[in-house]
Chain A
Amino acid sequence: MSHRDHHHDIAPIREEIRKGKGREFWRSLEELADTEKFREFLHREFPAVNPSEADPAWLDPVGRRNFLKLMSASLAFAGLTACTNQPKEYLVPYVKTPDGLIPGKAQFYATAMTMNGVASGLLVESHEGRPTKIEGNPDHPASRGGTTVYEQASVLNLYDPDRSQTALNLGDPRTWGEFLNELSRALDQQRQKQGAGLRILTETSTSPTFADQMNKLKAEFPQSKWHTYEPATRDGARVGSQTVFGQPVNTVYQFDKADVVLSLDADFLTNGPGSVRYARDFMGRRRLTDGASEMNRLYVAESTLTTTGAKADERLPIRASEVEAFARAVAAKVGVSGMSSALSGEAEKFAEAVAKDLKAHSGKSIVIAGEHQTAQVHALAHAINGALNNVGQTLYYTDPIEINPVDQIASISELVGELNAGKVELLVIVGANPVYNAPVFSGQTFLDAMKKAPMRVHLGMFNDETAVHCQWHIAESHYLESWSDARAFDGTVSIIQPLIQPLYNSKSPHELIAAMMNQGGKNSHDIVRDYWRTQPQFSGNFDQAWRQALHDGFIANTALPAKQVSPGLGGLSSLKSVTPGKYEIVFRLDPNVHDGRFANNSWLQETPKPINKITWDNFAIISSNTANALGLAPNEEPHRANAKMIRLVNEGRELEMPAWVQPGHPDNSITVYLGYGRERAGATGNGLGFNSYTIRTANTPFIATEKVELSAGEGKYQLAATQEHFSLDTSGIEVNAFITDDKDLTERHIVRTERFEQYKQELEEIKKDPRHSLNMHHGAHKPGKDLTIYPNWSYDKAKASDGREVDLHAWGMAIDMNACIGCNACVVACASENNIAMVGKEMVIRGRTMLWLRIDTYFRGGTANPQVYFQPMMCQHCEAAPCEVVCPVNATVHDAEGLNVQVYNRCVGTRYCSNNCPYKVRRFNYLLYGDWDTPSLKLGRNPDVTVRSRGVMEKCTFCVQRIMNAKIEAQKQDRKVLDGEVMTACQSACPTEAIIFGDTNDANSRVVKLKKEPRNYEVLADLNTRPRTSYLGVISNPNAELSGAHEGQKSGEKHG
């Protein structure tokens, strides 16, 4: 059908829309679909769809046919909108400007995602209107191109088949219109009493538009109250700054300016607002490439071994409840008045050395307190930073970025109190899931209190624990489906623009709040736009400015200005301290599923958690000594994942969960990850792990000490770990006697490390005599290039079919282990880019994880406080690849650019290649792991990458599809592929630029420069596999004063 015919047919319908319904069009799809004219049109256009029979069954969430019907109808509607004469809306600016939309060619749009309300700028890859892959926005201050695991995995949430798809009333599907009717009835009642019975509960938000809406709502219902709660609440930071400065402030750190950093239980590299930017800035100061000879130093005093602690030059394992005393001691030593040190032993020594170093770097240091630490610690950190003159130098204060900066535990406690008092008549829960994740209020769960509100409305992406106990549940739109805005860690505002029409009948929080103000038809696009139209940043040509903001991914000059505040420690004594008890339980957000919101995200579930490499579960982390004392000593190494149960009691509430002995954990402290034990997360997330919220009380949201009891539980529990845990030397984890034999692991030279002082000296020697090499390479053997019976291929030139000589590429990769923080962003990015199948807990236990990229973790030193090394490991693309020789069917071969390619169609699956791979990076589809059936998941796949079937081997391809795209582009422009033009998925996700990919034929490329670094080495080079991937050894910068105490552990030379 030609466009003209189409236009002709649609005209009457369009007329109808224009005449009568206008904006209400989206509100009443069904209504429109019911008209005779539309039905006729649809029938003509899509004869397969018979709308008359479709209607009731559309609400069935699982039917494939129904889904297709829905999709085709959506398609038809999309066509409808395109044909109407609505004003042109430039919703989707191009970042790269292609000559129009070319089918098969990906487009990138700038948007942002919020975590705990705080935005991070993104570029989202879209294939024919379907977002498939998340990248960081290189221009955005919070991203600089990097992302976290959450952002990478968020695209899967969009296509989650278990998402809520429509409004539900008591579980029955309803239309938005029906909901609005009932809501307006309830609101009319409230209006009469100025909203005295109206309570709104949201999660943390930084959205200016939302703030504006809430203000207007408050004006309409002056007596109503707005409560904010989410488990990742930063109450300590808020209350701490309130105490010190008399007002809540937001602290922005500038790690690129800091020489010495002290973390007080802060996991700032992977957690909290701005962590991606912080990680990049921080690592920028210890990259040691291109002749850099300076390096910062990181001290970490922490309770749980985090990725930040793993990167520490000096680390002090200390109980969470003792961090305050430690901070006090440091404060006293750097000269904060009114402080005294009450430490002893190693902690005192550590504090002494830290304080000395901090003072020596006054104005060039940062002291940062952990998100879950108490207000006291935060207040002390402010005081120390003040005393060190760091304020204005390495950090500055701004107004809070949150729109409702309250003590969230207090806020939800107040709500519970009012619910109990029967004051709440209409409870609107926006996005939050308090029934699952609220703490326990003096023995009472949130659910008990919530049920006392006669009418409860829940907006959420899932029909979750809270939704099922609310009369009304409204499906919430994903951030890639609806408009919004949010602030980054420094206040920069991003417009969150959608890339796709909502897949289901979902609404955004803006639309819900608007509906409460009788604007039920207003869509989030108009709400956000109308708000910004009034703002000074958009004075002048609004459309142009708006387009620019969408294009850039943020609104220029919206970062909050530095604020002059003066600290006063007067209020410190009024703050409640945590008294260390015999035992303590530390509640932490799970590194993968966060507070549980990602429980149904299989990518995150299957990504091994940093350090302990466990998937699909949560567990109680304890130290080796505590485990022994409680009779929970773990099994010997290969069987460690069969964990013993531990019984935790907090304020009389009990929970049994598996105990995991982790090196570097302080004694008598138990770390418990939140976010598991969900009952209504969805098919993937239900019933995994243990719900630790049941023992988390409002009094002890993060650190419980006083009423804590621990004992050995009953039975055992199988955890799914992807790595057995080995240390690099004798003083490591005492497991199998022979494994810890002196040289077995160190002689493999897989991880190479050195101290900064020594490195500097050796660098001088190398400058004098290039034949020298670093001590870290000592003893490692690398056979000559010619020591092979196979020819050494040349990758310089090749003859094209027309006889011309063409330049070839020789792709290679360099990974800076010094910069790798083990955050897993690359792992999830790889899964997302390459359509990697998730296999589930049982299969992980069987050793069949499909992830192409893994972060190998090695320990060095005693169990008390080991050094931790992260080594991203993927296919090394060996020049003399052992896998290629042994494949009987030529399914894995070398290509003309030196890539080791896997031909899925040719692979019969003998698995010999994997057996013969010394790095064990190949992955085999033992069963049909790829999901070939779920319709929604099909939309999210990367169309450039095959979805593998069972029985074939797969592995890292160096993102060959991206290489091909870049080459085609270069060829079109008759030029070479530029350095940095091809970014592998892992590289582009990496917050610290630890992974660099490029053409090793190009002498000026970044990867060649890195490979020339003296730290460069190839893993298992002695096997003469000649990998294309090389690693840069780890340089640590310990404090000479302290390292004496750790000498044995650090150098690995201790015996006995």
Chain B
Amino acid sequence: MSQGVEVVGLYVRDQDEALTFYVEKLGFRVHTDARNGDYRWLTVQHPDQPSLQLGLFTPQSPMLDAATAQTLRELVAKGAMPPLVLAVDDCRAAYDRMRARGVEFTQEPVARFGSVDAGFRDPSGNGWKMIEARR
């Protein structure tokens, strides 16, 4: 596939912290980690989904003015960013595995409507739903 969405970015409060979280706790891989001065282009990817990169970016100058960057940091910390959904084969098994690694769950696995879902947040406050793919 040569056309389609390639990178979707999240704002995070600290890129090192986010990298550790997404790689060590969620099992993503680093796709690109490139620095240019204070700027760092950092993307990770799900091992089963090589066509999509998840960007882990900080709101920062010079792309954003200081006040806008501060507002975004507040929004992320308040959990006000858009929904994220992670599809898994087995929600309860993934929950046990991730919880043992210290992932902050906001909702234990619940079975409803023919699937199982749970909720967690990354250290910055981005909220994920983890939903078992329907078979």
A, B assembled together = no
